[in-house]
Amino acid sequence: TSEKMSPYENYIEAAPLNFFLTKVFGIPNHYNSSLAVGIKDILSASMGNLISSAQFNYMFDIPWLVQQYPEQFRSKPLLIIHGSQRADKTTLHENAHRYPNITLCQAKLDIMYGTHHSKMMFLLYDNGMRVVIHTANIIHNDWYQKTQGVWISPLFPKLASDQDLSQGDSVTQFRKDLLEYLGAYGTNKHLQEWQETIRQHDMSSAKVFIIGSVPGRHTGASKMKWGHLKLRKVLQEHGPDGSTVKDWPVIGQFSSVGSLGSGPENWLSSEWLESLSTVQANGIVKLSKPKLNLIFPCVENVRRSLEGYPAGASLPYSIKNARKQQYFNTFLHQWRAFSRGRSRASPHIKTYTRISPDAQYLAWFIVTSANLSKAAWGAYEKNNSQLFIRSYEIGVLFVPSKVEENLKLFNVQGVDSSKDSMLFPLPWDVPLTSYTQTDRPWLWDIAYTDKPDSQGNMWCPS
């Protein structure tokens, strides 16, 4: 059905935080209205009269992508930033070749197993520009029946030519951090043109922090610029008050899991959880570490999903990693999003947050491309003197004090709120739903043949 394209302003009214989920085909339309967007909505003329755009991602179906732009924008300059190498790179070039307006830029990936995971759009209009940071690949399936997250910036106006270019940044240093992230790609003419374009725009209305990762062994002043240490730095300065949140759980939700080490103390419950538990460093003593709750689909969540077992092709958790880290299962909760009509829309979104035990308040919230892995968030090396990151990632962090001047904390979606607090649209249900005794985390490389999925099929990976 061709949903009525409501102009961006309507979206903003309903989503003052600019945080959307992608539209899902096959759920009641009510759940695809104001807080949901499709890729055609993002690229539509109601968002602005497009001059050129850039698409950062991991997976691209280029002919499909071109079709998602309105007809009148399909020949505008389009820069594609990817991490493909060897045969994948050749295929990408073959698919892009017939579009003279498309330029390809390969992000350098010198570190083994690193991926260009970041998912971001730059949209330059005749009256300003927007930045979109999201979690979906540029392929049909990622925008069809999955739960994905999208942050769409306000329209950033162009600075007047006589205005001092040092103007135009936000209280969260959004533009500075975005330029620093782009700088890590090295010298590419087209990316450098986009950096200049960004410098010419006023991004003072951006109310989120950028949490990015770039491949490297980051030391000294760079150590706190990326991954979980960037989050630690931002929370030290702008995070919740330690006494308020001391027993609030940390929640991580993701669509893939790396090799986390033989026990929680290797990384998960030590350096990673320490960063996510960081509170404003106003000299108080170190607090006990909060409970960690993780959300990752169990086999039944995948089997019953709209896509059925094939949803699991986008949940690449391997038996090789799983068998080495059985302790990981003790943290797990099911994917459940009844409040958003998306319990059967398999998650490809990645979100991390800290909320009160009664699920009334939220201390901070991240939507990001980063899965639960050392490759994405980084791991200490050399006695904590450096942070080793393998992949490019990017996400946005919402902190109440930067969004609602008069509010210390957001209220959590679906809870009857005192009138003065803003509801944060959580993508999944609280309270969390534990795994049953027989539930197992989804593993993508083993067979499931005892029960057919929602499409009547079994799962027999080769």
Ligand X SMILES: O=C(O)c1ccc([N+](=O)[O-])cc1C(=O)O
Assess contact for 173 and 204: CB atoms under 8 A: no
- Residue 361 in the binding site for ligand X (CB under 6 A): no
- Residue 122 in the binding site for ligand X (CB under 6 A): no
Least separation in angstroms between residue 442's CB and ligand X is 12
Helices (H), 200-241: 227-238
Nearer to ligand X, 56 or 185 (CB): 56
Distance CA 25, CA 6 (A): 18
The residues assigned a catalytic role are 117, 348
Size (the chain), residues: 462
Q: Is the peptide bond before 357 cis (omega within 30 degrees of 0)?
A: no
Nearer to ligand X, 148 or 386 (CB): 148
Which residues does residue 418 pair with via DSSP β-bridges, in sequence order?
none
Nearer to ligand X, 211 or 235 (CB): 211
User: Using CB under 6 A, which of 8, 19, 58, 185 touches ligand X?
Assistant: 58
346-347 and 146-147 beta bridge pairing = parallel
User: Using CB under 6 A, which of 278, 343, 371, 386 touches ligand X?
Assistant: 371
x/- string (CB under 6 A) for ligand X, residues 154-183? ------------------------------
**Contacts (Cβ under 8 Å, ≥6 apart) of 218:** 225, 226, 227, 229, 378, 386, 387, 388, 389
User: Using CB under 6 A, which of 255, 301, 325, 368 touches ligand X?
Assistant: 255
Decide: helix, strand or coil at residue 179.
helix
Assess contact for 393 and 376: CB atoms under 8 A: yes
Residue 308, both tokens: 């059925």
- Residue 392 in the binding site for ligand X (CB under 6 A): no
User: Using CB under 6 A, which of 77, 316, 414, 452 touches ligand X?
Assistant: 316
Nearer to ligand X, 184 or 370 (CB): 370
- Residue 117 in the binding site for ligand X (CB under 6 A): yes
379-381 and 386-389 beta bridge pairing = antiparallel
Which 426-455 residues touch ligand X, going by CB under 6 A? none
User: Using CB under 6 A, which of 95, 256, 277, 351 touches ligand X?
Assistant: 256
Nearer to ligand X, 269 or 368 (CB): 368
Angle at 263 between CA 260 and CA 268, to 5 degrees: 50
User: Using CB under 6 A, which of 32, 137, 145, 301 touches ligand X?
Assistant: 137
Residue linked to tokens 């090295």: 186
- Residue 18 in the binding site for ligand X (CB under 6 A): no
Residue type at 176?
A: K
351-355 and 146-147 beta bridge pairing = unpaired
Nearer to ligand X, 253 or 256 (CB): 256
Least separation in angstroms between residue 107's CB and ligand X is 13
Q: Which residues contact ligand X (rule: CB under 6 A)? A: 58, 115, 117, 137, 255-256, 316, 371
